[in-house]
Amino acid sequence: MNSLWSSTAKSEGFPALQGDIKTDVVIVGGGLAGVLCLKELTDRGVGCVLLEAKSIGSGTTKNTTAKITFQHSLIYDKLIRNVGIEKAQQYLTANKDAVERFRKMSEKYPCDFEEKDAYIYSQTDRAKIEKEIKAYEKLGVNAQFVEKTPLPVECIGAVKINRQAQFHPLKFMFSVAKGLKIYENSKVLEFLPKKVRCSNGSVTAEKIIVATHFPIINKHGAYPLKLYQHRSYVVAVKNALNVNGMYLEDKDGGFSFRNYNDYLLIGSGDHRTGQNGGGYKVAEKLCKDKFPNAQIDYRFATQDCISLDAIPYIGEYSKNSQDIYVATGFNKWGMTSSMVAAGILSDMVTGIKNPYADVFSPTRSIIHPKLFSNIFHSVVGIITPTAPRCPHLGCALKYNKEEHTWDCPCHGSRFTEDGELIDNPATGDINA
């Protein structure tokens, strides 16, 4: 099903890789993170190419709600408590810089960029909102407490951040990508030392960046333990409401709202991939109850990689993988996280010390309660005696009635009813 974004933007397309080439850096994965890394390195004069298995923007990027903000749910109170104020400040500053970078780039690359205020609201817990505002104060950010909103759901309080933004992600990406060295329909089949091999050629490079959403090299980095995937559902509705801002509820499964032209985008129905959840029905019921004359023109779902501690993994792939880098675990905040990744990884591969690299390091400790939850889901998936099985690590797949797909509850790979791969970390079809 096409999203609102993929239905209203078109790429000029890029050729497939043919033959063997050499370059300084090869990027694997043509989502927003990969394209921004390619752009940054190219602008620095670094020889760089990007390989995409399908077409750029055909994965998670096309299904995002496309909010550009450093307000990543209620994260800053947690960060201050869990990793300290210094790293919380690094996280905030990195994402503030990313917002400004998007603002500047939007002047050159048309993308329907709109400055909007961002809100995290609660229907039940005013205290959490107040704690987050205090966390912003400690970090030097002017956050406001808001009681009244135009939302069609109850709100007992919200934290408001001024001058954030929203845009059309594919218009931006396709414009940025023009003139860059991109090879589409060039699926990577094998990673070798300083080389990646595709079906019709190979790329030899001094350094490799893996930007495939969920990392696809299993033998390094413990990413199947450090990540799980989470689905969110969006409907784009006409004849609804102008909320004049970007809103997100303070809990999984809650509602998100933003407008684009004549549409109201409503997100809801979240669940861990491979488990049951509300799906599209939650937003559809809200529309029926609150906007009886509304017309739902688009339904699309996105899939996010969730890290153990709510901080992305950006940097060296692992302690044992030399000259390989990664960007993953964006925790539903892929826009600014992609821009942060482009800056950090471009610095790292060119030998520049990045001031934010430490807080995002993929080699930080994995001791966290979510680790044991991820291990539990993996073990259950592996020992469950049903078919079909996921070709990634052999977990039993669950049928998703809402989307008519086979989903992996361990690591989030997804397949069509006929077994064709939709989402990684699997790299092949069910029966391949």
Determine the Cα–Cα distance for residues 39 and 33; give it in Å rounded to an integer: 10
Could you tell me if 309 and 81 are in contact, meaning their C-beta atoms sit under 8 angstroms apart? no
Q: What tens digit of pLDDT does each residue of 189-204 get?
A: 999 999 999 989 999 9
Q: What pLDDT does residue 432 have? A: 54
Helix, strand or coil for residue 357? Answer: helix
Structure token pair of residue 319: 């302690």
Between strands 405-407 and 157-166, the pairing is unpaired
Q: What pLDDT does residue 180 have? A: 98
Cis peptide leading into 292, omega within 30 of 0? no
> Can you tell me the mean pLDDT for 206-217?
96
Cite the residue boundaries of each domain of the chain with CATH code 3.30.9.10.
114-165+228-304
Q: Which of 234, 228, 173 is nearest to 1 (CA)?
A: 234
Q: What tens digit of pLDDT does each residue of 106-121 get?
A: 999 999 999 999 999 9
Cα-based distances in Å from 342 to 71, 168, 201, 322: 19, 19, 26, 19
Q: What tens digit of pLDDT does each residue of 121-150 get?
A: 999 999 999 999 999 999 999 999 999 999
Residue 81 has pLDDT above 80, yes or no: yes
20 phi/psi in degrees, rounded to 5: -105, 130
Determine the Cα–Cα distance for residues 175 and 39; give it in Å rounded to an integer: 11
Q: Give the CATH architecture of domain 114-165+228-304.
A: 2-Layer Sandwich (3.30)
Classify domain 369-423 at the CATH topology level.
Rieske Iron-sulfur Protein (2.102.10)
Across the beta sheet with 421-423, what order do the strands follow? 398-400, 405-407, 414-416, 421-423
209 phi/psi in degrees, rounded to 5: -110, 125
Cite the residue boundaries of each domain of the chain with CATH code 2.102.10.10.
369-423
Structure token pair of residue 158: 């919200």
Q: What tens digit of pLDDT does each residue of 1-38 get?
A: 689 999 999 999 999 999 999 999 999 999 999 999 99
Does domain 4-11+19-64+170-226+309-360 match CATH 3.50.50.60? Answer: yes
